[in-house]
Amino acid sequence: MAYRETDKVRQRKDSVRRRILETVRARLGSGGFGEATMKRLAREAGLATGTLYRYFPDRTELFAETFRVFTQREVDKFTEAAHGTGPCAQRLASAVRTFSERALEGHRFAYAMIAEPAEPEVEAERLAYRRAYAEVLHDLLRDGTRKREFVVDDPQVAAAGIVGAIAEALIGPLSPPARAGVNGRLAPRERRRLIESIVRFCLRAAGAKDRHYDR
């Protein structure tokens, strides 16, 4: 008779897998990909290195899975805000604000997810999720243009531009967090000012009026 895993065994394996991914997230949020060796990750997860390799045969697969799991959470939050109630411009502001607040809360991890040089497999996942953000924005911009809340010639181009602008303003080398150093930590007042500046830029890029994005 072929061996079949029991529910208890599956639950234990799922628990270990989640622990591994959370460990990777913590390490990326602390020091980035360069510090995330398999030996170090195994130790920090409380596992033997061989056990870690049984779950993930190499760093590339481990990083790609980490990227998929945690970036999907961010896409879900962004989508939830974009699909909320209210005018389209208000929902665009909410989505941009949500993304910005979460990225600044874990700036070093956001840098690893968005911009830090990584293996080609991770870059491929990164591109897929940038497309996911752009698709959400494309639908919102198209809806807002149809309702005359936005003035956009090409929603697809505008969506791509907004995705790039948000990432550059939050994570890029010229961004205020990058200039601040120490993992991009800004004072609360500076942080609020940056987020609202990004929100205003994105809404103006969509042709919205200021009255649409007051909190």
Looking at the fold, whether 11 and 99 belong to one and the same domain comes out as no
110 shares a domain with 194:
yes
Alpha helices in the chain (DSSP H): 7-31, 38-45, 49-55, 59-82, 88-105, 107-114, 120-146, 155-171, 176-180, 188-205
* Inside any domain, residue 33: yes
Amino acid 179: pLDDT: 84
Last residue of a domain, one of 57, 73, 93: 57
170 domain residue, yes or no: yes
Phi/psi zone of residue 5: left (φ > 0), alpha (ψ -120 to 50 degrees), beta? beta
How much is the pLDDT for 183? 64
pLDDT of residue 178: 84
Give the domain-ending residue among 16, 40, 57.
57
From the list 48, 42, 50, 51, the residue with the least C-alpha distance to 23 is: 42
49 with 69, same domain: the answer is: no
Going residue by residue through the chain (215 aa), what tens digit of pLDDT does each one get?
A: 555 678 888 899 999 999 999 999 999 999 888 889 999 999 999 999 999 999 999 999 999 999 999 999 999 999 999 999 999 999 999 999 999 999 999 899 999 988 888 888 889 989 999 999 999 999 999 999 999 999 999 999 999 999 999 999 999 888 998 887 756 688 999 999 999 999 999 999 999 976 555 55
Q: What is the pLDDT of residue 72?
A: 94
CATH number of the structural domain spanning residue 152: 1.10.357.10
- Is residue 2 one of the residues assigned to a domain? no
Q: Please indicate, yes or no, if residue 1 is contained in any of the structural domains.
A: no
Same domain, 119 and 30: no
Domain ranges, residue 192 = 63-212
C-alpha span between 141 and 148 (Å, rounded): 10
3-state SS class at 35: helix
CA distances from 72 to 64, 78, 133, 145, 183 (A): 12, 10, 10, 27, 23
pTM beyond 0.75: the answer is: yes
**Domain match, 204 and 111 both:** yes
**pLDDT value of residue 2:** 54
Question: Residues 89, 153: one domain?
Answer: yes
Token duo for residue 131 = 């497309």
Residue that is written with structure tokens 């600044």 in the block: 104
Structural domains counted in the chain = 2
67 in any annotated domain: yes
pLDDT at position 3 is: 59
Write out the two tokens for 210.
């200021």
- What is the gyration radius of the CA atoms in the chain, in angstroms? 20
The reply to whether 111 and 77 lie within a common domain is: yes
Given its phi and psi angles, is residue 185 left (phi above 0), alpha (psi -120 to 50 degrees) or beta? beta
Same domain? 53 vs 74: no
